[in-house]
């Protein structure tokens, strides 16, 4: 604010006005305070424009219909909530393995995908798993046993737990995005 006050004083014609005069000084101080308030307000609006800051996280979640119905009531870290907002904003949809791997990564999970196919003569070799025709549309997300989201300074909110365990967010978002005709399994541990 003192910088703004000094700049306003410099804008006065030096011969006509004495910037140190009490009435003029009070007026310039009030103007500098108003300018500082407007600048701070503009910075807050700018922060709320970008969801990565978490400044207007509740509003972003409301607009995007988050949290997903299956994680309502779950204790999610702010980082997880921001990741869910960003995943929903950046997600264009898809049915490829690459799409679901990228979706999981955007939520903070490293996964691989296993696709199951029924054994067919001429294609299957010795040692391949024998799956029946019911496995045609089955696939599996392979992830770490338990992901832990640890609170970090600058991205954690007051009252937030220091750590959140679980894969509920991954299961919920992937299940919501999977093709309807498929059977989705989740495997935790060996990838």
Average pLDDT (43-56) is 85
Q: Are strands 148-150 and 163-165 parallel, antiparallel or unpaired?
A: antiparallel
Q: Are both 79 and 165 inside the same structural domain?
A: yes
Same domain, 89 and 176: yes
Asked if residue 34 and residue 80 are part of one domain, the reply reads no
Q: Report yes or no on 64 lying in a domain.
A: no
The percent of residues above 70 in pLDDT, for the chain, comes to 89
The answer to the question of residue 66 being in a domain is no
Q: Let me know whether 95 and 15 are in one domain.
A: no
Q: Are 132 and 118 contacting, i.e. CB atoms less than 8 angstroms apart?
A: yes
Render pLDDT for 63-105 as a digit per residue (tens, 0 to 9).
998 888 888 877 888 888 888 899 888 877 788 999 999 999 9
Residues 104 and 166 grouped into a single domain? yes
Based on the fold, state whether residues 107 and 182 are members of the same structural domain.
yes
Residue 67 lies in a domain: no
Both 41 and 88 in one domain: the answer is: no
43/80 same-domain check: no
Is the pTM of the predicted complex or chain greater than 0.75?
Answer: no
Over the stretch 136-190, which tens digit does the pLDDT of each residue have?
889 999 998 876 667 677 666 676 666 666 788 889 989 988 999 999 999 988 6
Same structural domain for residues 97 and 141?
yes
Q: Print burial letters for 149-182: b (CB count within 10 Å at least 16), e (below 16).
A: bebeeeebeeebeeebebbbbbbbbbeebeeeee
User: Helix, strand, coil: what percent of the chain each, to 5?
Assistant: 45, 10, 45
* 17 and 88 housed in the same domain: no
57, part of any domain:
no
Residue 59 lies in a domain: no
Q: 141 lies in a domain?
A: yes
Domain count, the chain: 2
* Residue 30 three-state SS: helix
In a domain, 181, yes or no: yes
Contact 155, 82 (CB under 8 A): yes
33, part of any domain: yes
* Domain coverage including residue 30: 2-49
Q: Residue 31 — very low, low, confident or very high, per pLDDT cuts 50/70/90?
A: very high
Residues 108 and 177 in one domain: yes
Within the chain, residue ranges assigned H as helices are 2-10, 22-49, 57-64, 78-90, 97-106, 168-177
């Amino acid at each position: 604010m003192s910088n703004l006050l000094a700049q306003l004083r410099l804008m006065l014609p030096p011969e006509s006005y004495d910037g140190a005069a009490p009435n003029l000084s009070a007026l310039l101080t009030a103007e500098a305070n108003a300018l500082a308030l407007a600048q701070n307000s503009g910075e807050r609006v700018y922060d709320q424009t970008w969801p990565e800051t978490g400044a207007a996280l509740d509003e972003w979640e409301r607009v995007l219909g988050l949290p997903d119905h299956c994680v309502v009531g779950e204790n999610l870290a702010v980082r997880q909530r921001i990741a869910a907002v960003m995943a929903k904003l950046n997600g264009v949809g898809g049915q490829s393995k690459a799409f679901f791997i990228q979706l999981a990564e955007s939520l903070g999970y490293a996964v691989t995908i296993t696709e199951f196919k029924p054994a067919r003569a001429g294609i299957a070799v010795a040692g391949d798993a024998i799956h029946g025709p019911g496995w045609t549309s089955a696939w599996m997300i392979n992830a770490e046993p338990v992901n832990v989201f640890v609170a970090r300074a600058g991205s954690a909110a007051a009252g937030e737990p220091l750590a959140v365990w679980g894969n509920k967010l991954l299961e919920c978002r992937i299940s919501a995005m999977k093709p309807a005709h498929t059977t989705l399994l989740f495997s935790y541990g060996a990838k």
